[in-house]
Amino acid sequence: SKTIIADTSVTSTESKKPFNLLQQLNLTSEQQRQIRRIHHKYRQKIRQKKSSLNLLQNQLSDMMVGTEKVELIRAKNEQLLALRQEIEKLRFESMLATREILTIQQRMKFREIMESQLAQ
């Protein structure tokens, strides 16, 4: 369940939510600057992959109602699954990079906040 807690924090990287969350950790201005840079870097990569994902989903959907061979449909689905995994890896890497900037106390506080939010 620790993975789920960690994953939730990065899932909404596109919104301002994680930053509001991070503000509760009493980050130094240097930590804030580094974390913004990390989030910006990964947000761009994730966005690109998501647009490719949407394209693949549409192609797969078209193939499902068309006359494509089953093997081709399976291959398209494998592409889709691989891309989803790449997106998850990017989210995880973003989380790890952010973790490196936080002190042990900040990491513990972050987990407490995430657990209390999940409990609501």
Strands (E), the chain: none
Query: Could you read off the pLDDT of 34-71 as tens digits, one per residue?
Result: 999 999 999 999 999 999 999 999 999 999 999 999 99
Label residue 18 by pLDDT band (50, 70, 90): low
Closest CA to 90 of 43, 55, 54: 43
Q: Which amino acid is at 74?
A: R
- pTM, two decimal places: 0.73
Res 17: pLDDT: 59
Query: Could you read off the pLDDT of 89-106 as tens digits, one per residue?
Result: 999 999 999 999 999 999
* C-alpha span between 61 and 113 (Å, rounded): 39
Label residue 16 by pLDDT band (50, 70, 90): low
